[in-house]
């Protein structure tokens, strides 16, 4: 197991993502790039990007939208698939959005493919 959002975690996520092959990412998400700053991770504040439905280390210069949220909320939304936690986090101010809000709305309405769900389960299983 690897600490969530640690360098070791990102390396293992990269390996799992590569091994998963084609994730059949919905077209609405395939071209979507969001930057995310995560607070409260084991190694402090972490910058990442959600690029075409996949996690990347660091921010992506092509992103039109940036989210800032706590690590536990990121885990609930993206790894555990808890959409209600995302809505609650937004409504209570735990999620801060800068830039193009419509990009976030695209993500909210998209449903992950079965291949993505399987990858997220593998990532959750390795996450401490």
pTM exceeds cut of 0.95:
no
Residues 6+ away with beta carbon under 8 Å from 78: 50, 55, 120
CA 3, chain centre distance (Å): 16
- Residue-wise pLDDT tens digits, 97-125: 999 988 877 777 778 888 988 998 999 89
Structural domain boundaries in the chain: 7-123
CATH architecture assigned to 7-123: 2-Layer Sandwich (3.30)
């Amino acid at each position: 197991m690897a600490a969530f959002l640690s360098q070791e975690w990102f390396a293992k996520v990269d390996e799992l993502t590569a091994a998963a092959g084609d994730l059949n990412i919905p077209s609405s998400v395939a071209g979507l790039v969001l930057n995310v700053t995560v607070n409260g991770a084991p190694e402090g504040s972490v910058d990442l990007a959600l690029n075409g439905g996949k996690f990347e280390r660091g921010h992506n210069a092509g992103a039109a939208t940036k989210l800032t949220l706590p690590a536990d909320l990121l885990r609930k939304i993206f790894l555990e698939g808890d959409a209600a936690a995302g809505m609650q986090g937004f409504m209570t101010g735990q999620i801060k959005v800068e830039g193009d809000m419509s990009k976030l709305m695209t993500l909210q309405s998209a449903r992950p493919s079965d291949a993505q769900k399987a990858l997220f389960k593998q990532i959750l299983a390795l996450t401490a």
